[in-house]
Structure 1
Amino acid sequence: MTIRDYDVLIAGGGNAALCAAISARRGGASVLVVEAAPRFYRGGNTRHTRNMRCAHDSATETLSGPYYEEEFFEDLLRVTGGKTDEKLARMMIAESKDMLNWIVEQGVRFQPSLGGTLSLGRTNSFFLGGGRAMLNALYRTAEQLGVEVRYDTEVVDLDIVDGRFRSATVLHRGQRQSIAAKAFVAASGGFEANIDWLKEGWGEIAENFLIRGTPYNRGTVLKMLIESGAQQIGDPTQCHAVAIDARAPKYDGGIITRLDCVVFGIVVNRDAQRFYDEGEDVWPKRYAIWGRLVAAQPDQIAYIIFDARSLELFMPSLFPPVKAMTIPDLAGKLGVDASALEKTVSDFNAAVQPGTFDHTSLDDCRTEGLFPPKTHWARRIEEAPFYAYPVRPGITFTYLGVRVNEQSRMMMADGRPAANMFAAGEIMAGNVLGQGYAAGIGMTIGSVFGRIAGREAAAEVRANLPAPATMEIA
């Protein structure tokens, strides 16, 4: 069955897809968005987000100070270890300065800047009502503009010839339909919910990973694009992976299962041994390393240990911490060796040096003569009751994707730009994120490249419209 042709077909239903849809529609194109999820679960991982990171030159009503382009780029270099396409990254950061205004024009609202342990009040804008409210605003605007949306509609085949998209086959309620379009935007996320694909890079340990976001991001469109000649970019084992509560569901646990308390205690593995510096840097820049660190531990499990002084310094998990009046009792509740945990805590306490604790900055509270060290926020764990959170790797999204240029146009394996195919969001995040993560940058990638992809797709359609007929006058 064939349904009517569109100027632009967009695969995906999250932030990147909607920014592309709105941008393309404002560019005069007819637009269809196909979302694999049901309406209630629309939006991919955008449902679980809270904020976006954008450059800006001064404080605003919702940001406490300036965040210049160069500082943003330096932060990106720090978290990626330099593994980024500098030209694309700098372009994205420059474009991000206008996104705060543009996204508000699409109906999204921000709340006043946040203080506290997140340390993001200057760099990140928080959505009023969270990711779902942001998503609902974008859907309202898109639909008011005339964008069509079809839910429960999965792309199962792509007709691509020599870098030119011709049509997509979708599956909707058991029925296959063909959709032709003059341009195609892939904004359908990564493959983090495809455990078999994760195993190809990670091996069997991927069975112990929890997926923080949508179960619908299985990489179907990504795989078809690569098989059709799109140029691949990124490492299949690189991803946004954080330490989340081990009691979280397999899929869709979202932000409420993330744990921000690593910096306030110590982290031990199944053998009650520490394995990394918990105080390496401020949390928004380093929290996304902990998923990979836990993934490298036996059975992919670890435990964050802290005492009563730290209980109210961070945003807790949905689940209550494990609580005990002594370290041996805590070990028993966690199922780890009591004497080993007691020694680890004792050795840590003995290594803590005097300092002035300040959870808002890189303070001088550190250990000495201990490996691994704790370089900041080191306080003795000695005030009962004692607490622990069990954590596992929580995969947010993967970085393997398709290469794009500054027009968000896909690049083909032979080095040519695709004729009429564009990509935005997680499916091309590996262009910017070779590894690592900084809070809010996923939404930046989706918004900036989504807006560009939609704009360029509409321009591609206009450029290829038949010339109007002319009449010769005698």
Structure 2
Amino acid sequence: MTTESFDTDVLVIGGGNAALCAAIMAREGGARVLLLESAPREWRGGNSGHTRNLRCMHDAPQDVLVEAYPEEEFWQDLLKVTGGLTNEHLARMVIRASSTCRTWMRRHGVIFQPPLSGALHVARTNAFFMGGGKALVNAYYRSAENLGVEVRYDAPVDRLEIEDGIFKAAWVKGRRIAARSCVLAAGGFESNREWLREAWGRNERGEFPADNFLIRGTAFNQGVLLRHMLEDHHADRIGDPTQAHMVAIDARAPLYDGGICTRIDCVSLGVVVNREARRFYDEGEDFWPKRYAIWGRLVAMQPQQIGYSIIDSKAIGRFMPPVFPGVRANTLEELATRLELDVPTFMQTMNEYNAACRVGRFDHTALDDCHTEGVTPAKTHWARPIDTAPFYGYALRPGVTFTYLGLKVDDTAAVRFNDEPSRNLFVAGEMMAGNVLGKGYTAGVGMSIGTAFGRIAGRNAALAAQGKPAARGAVADDTTQHMKEAA
């Protein structure tokens, strides 16, 4: 009888936050772990290098979090932005896990900074990493390697061997790598222009909207394994291929890896017009961290997939400045000309908006009573006439962070085939985020999902490598003790 030879116990495919959490957890569970990162070492970490924080539930002030952000409020925030397109069981599991993960993260080198103040409104809800996502990624790689995780760079996986829902091996540059279990954490398909084109198709104007999308993160998320799993292995899927974490960013941003500094954060303090110089959505609907991620899709639906954020000097100093300066003018007419917008239409839009403003007590840190009347779309909060020179305009494009089409899971993080969970193939991060994020986004929740499911997937991959069944639910705070109990 021939005994199958394995190159490793747990194979982790991907190199960002979710993959690293999985690799570390699997190694802590006693497994030999090999992590394959498709990017070169200098570009390792995928989109995680561009992150800054994770959203955390807490019932009272905790270390770097002020006041309280209870489970129900977190859930309602998520429910609102997703419009109900979320799995409540999995979402609440992520929410609860977010309250306990920081101790584990610190143990693996992540340093959190003191609470932020100012206009971001997130000191209560989000824990920020000192040095941002790149520092987090580097800390995890150091910890993983110190624990004995083997890491290979420039190692893109192009196909998997799966038999009857059981993972057998992965192929990298013609080489077969066999493992007892596997975690898929290789990201979405946002960097694959042809797939984006296919998903979005043509609009009523005959345009391919995807041709004008910019990618906020890595160029390496081509969706190769996601498509392979969906089309070749017929894994159960979740999500709409047109839904994504999509932000309005500076139209001058690079095609890839522009990151957070290209985001335009003055939308709620002014108005946004399209190429036809007309407003198209309520700029003051809610606090910016709860609404910034809807604006990429809104701009994507406009002619030529472009918009223009217009502010006056009263807004300066009340938002995080982007990396590129805005177009500046001393009059609104001059600003329209410099932005190449139709001047009469632009002036009509601005005059109607200014006349509709009902200014009460302006407070950009609260849902104030400054609103419009008699103009469509309305502006619900922070509505003040744009009348104080100099004036500024920022051209906006859709900036895709990650896509929501992915693999369907349960609370074991197992990949499912015909609604049956695999015994040894798990998924985490962007490849399964659509289970929680059917649409929309709220700041930091992607890292919450990746951290929770990365740890779950890693724990269960280690158990599978030992021939043991997967454990259900989130990982306990005391990881080592939890692994002993699970074993």
- TM-score interval (norm. to shorter): over 0.9
1:48 corresponds to: 50
Deviations for 1:106-163, whole angstroms, at most 9, x for unmatched residues? 1101101112111000000000011100111111100000001111110011111110
2:111 corresponds to: 109
Q: Does 1:392 align with 2:394?
A: no
Deviations for 1:32-85, whole angstroms, at most 9, x for unmatched residues? 110111111100100100000011121123111111111111111111111101
Contact 2:6 2:180 in 1 (8 A): no
Partner SS state of residue 462, structure 2 = helix
Partner SS state of residue 119, structure 2 = helix
Q: Does 1:196 align with 2:194?
A: yes
**How many residues end up aligned between the 2 structures?**
459
1:23 corresponds to: 25
In structure 2, which of residues 270, 279, 298 is the aligned counterpart of residue 274 of structure 1? Answer: 279
Q: Does 1:341 align with 2:346?
A: yes
Distance, in Å, in 1 between the alignment partners of 2:235 and 2:56 is 29
In structure 2, the gaps of 5 or more residues are 202-207, 470-487
In structure 1, which of residues 357, 370, 375 is the aligned counterpart of residue 375 of structure 2? Answer: 370
Contact 2:359 2:383 in 1 (8 A): no
1:259 corresponds to: 264
Distance, in Å, in 1 between the alignment partners of 2:406 and 2:50 is 21
TM-score in terms of structure 2 length: 0.93
1:406 corresponds to: 411
Q: Does 1:183 align with 2:188?
A: no
In structure 1, which of residues 209, 213, 220 is the aligned counterpart of residue 213 of structure 2? Answer: 209
Distance, in Å, in 1 between the alignment partners of 2:154 and 2:280 is 44
Distance, in Å, in 2 between the alignment partners of 1:379 and 1:105 is 48
Partner SS state of residue 456, structure 1 = helix
Matching residue's letter, 1:261: C
Partner SS state of residue 116, structure 1 = coil
Distance, in Å, in 2 between the alignment partners of 1:61 and 1:407 is 30
Matching residue's letter, 1:148: E
Q: Does 1:422 align with 2:420?
A: no
Once the 2 structures are TM-superposed, how far is the Cα of residue 4 of structure 1 from its aligned partner?
Answer: 6.3
TM-score in terms of structure 1 length: 0.95
Distance, in Å, in 1 between the alignment partners of 2:150 and 2:253 is 35
Contact 1:163 1:229 in 2 (8 A): no
1:136 corresponds to: 138
Pairwise mapping of residues 432-447 of structure 1 onto structure 2 (< 5 A)? 432-447=436-451
1:218 corresponds to: 222
Distance, in Å, in 1 between the alignment partners of 2:122 and 2:252 is 27
Distance, in Å, in 1 between the alignment partners of 2:398 and 2:468 is 47
CA RMSD of aligned residues (A): 1.3
Q: Does 1:232 align with 2:237?
A: yes
Say which is worse superposed, 95-104 or 266-275, in terms of deviation: 95-104
Partner SS state of residue 7, structure 1 = strand
Distance, in Å, in 2 between the alignment partners of 1:341 and 1:111 is 43
Distance, in Å, in 2 between the alignment partners of 1:146 and 1:235 is 38
Distance, in Å, in 2 between the alignment partners of 1:202 and 1:225 is 21
Distance, in Å, in 2 between the alignment partners of 1:445 and 1:426 is 9
Matching residue's letter, 2:412: Q
Distance, in Å, in 2 between the alignment partners of 1:298 and 1:316 is 26
Distance, in Å, in 2 between the alignment partners of 1:276 and 1:70 is 28
Matching residue's letter, 1:282: F
Distance, in Å, in 2 between the alignment partners of 1:195 and 1:220 is 12
Contact 1:367 1:375 in 2 (8 A): yes
Matching residue's letter, 1:202: W
Distance, in Å, in 2 between the alignment partners of 1:60 and 1:84 is 28
Distance, in Å, in 2 between the alignment partners of 1:318 and 1:177 is 43
Distance, in Å, in 2 between the alignment partners of 1:464 and 1:72 is 34
Partner SS state of residue 290, structure 1 = helix
Contact 2:6 2:179 in 1 (8 A): no
2:474 corresponds to: none
Matching residue's letter, 1:217: N
1:90 corresponds to: 92
Matching residue's letter, 2:76: E
Distance, in Å, in 1 between the alignment partners of 2:424 and 2:229 is 13
Distance, in Å, in 1 between the alignment partners of 2:94 and 2:185 is 17
Which 4+ stretches in 1 moved above 6 angstroms? Answer: none
Contact 1:55 1:69 in 2 (8 A): yes
Matching residue's letter, 2:131: G
Partner SS state of residue 332, structure 1 = helix
Partner SS state of residue 392, structure 1 = strand
Matching residue's letter, 2:225: V
Distance, in Å, in 1 between the alignment partners of 2:297 and 2:234 is 30
1:469 corresponds to: none
Pairwise mapping of residues 444-459 of structure 1 onto structure 2 (< 5 A)? 444-459=448-463
The percent identity for this pair of structures is 58
1:323 corresponds to: 328
Partner SS state of residue 115, structure 1 = coil
